Amino acid sequence: MTKEQCKLFEKCEAPLCPLEDDSSQLWYPDEGICRARKFHRLPWIKKQKRIAKLGLTIDAGFFTAQMLKSIDRITRSLKGADPDEFDSETRWLEQREQKRVTASKKRRNNKASKEKTLATVAL
């Protein structure tokens, strides 16, 4: 990265940089976030800001850009990956996908049962 690409690059304290393609960079909720205006609209930077507003500490775990991209809802119960566990990012992403699939099945089942109820009421 160079000064020409981002005027704030030399002084930036954000561990996740939109100009770097290094997927191994970790971000903790109490660390800095990219301040360059041209990147403020990136969805994962918006999510970083929302997570930071929750006031989570280092105990909440770390996040990578890939993890941030996979998050749909940000709540107080959100936890990142455990820095003390080997390959915790991969496990975190797999658990996230399993939760997503389970929630999708649950929504389909609820919709089907509501339709059944409406069909029996209509008769």
Residue of 57, 55, 65, 85 whose CA lies nearest to 15 = 65
pLDDT at 106: 84
2 falls within a domain: no
pLDDT at 32: 93
pLDDT at 90: 93
> Against a cut of 0.85, is the pTM above it?
no
Print pLDDT tens along the chain (123 aa): 455 678 888 888 899 988 887 677 999 999 999 998 889 999 999 999 999 999 888 889 999 999 999 998 899 999 999 999 999 999 999 998 888 888 888 888 887 777 777 667 666
103 falls within a domain: yes
43 falls within a domain: yes
Boundaries of domain holding 71: 9-122
pLDDT at 110: 82
26 falls within a domain: yes
Sign of the CA dihedral running 40, 45, 47, 48? negative
Q: How far apart are CA 97 and CA 103, in angstroms?
A: 10
Task: Tell me phi and psi for residue 87, to 5 degrees.
Answer: 60, 35
Contacts of 3 (CB under 8 A, 6+ apart): 9, 10
1 falls within a domain: no
Q: Are 81 and 67 in contact (CB under 8 A)?
A: yes
Beta strands in 56-121 (DSSP E): none
| Exposed / middle / buried, residue 81 (Cβ in 10 Å: 0-12, 13-18, 19+) | buried
pLDDT at 103: 82
Domains in the chain: how many in total? 1
pLDDT at 28: 95
40 falls within a domain: yes
pLDDT at 8: 84
What are the structure tokens assigned to 38, written together?
Answer: 């041209």
110 falls within a domain: yes
pLDDT at 74: 92
4 falls within a domain: no
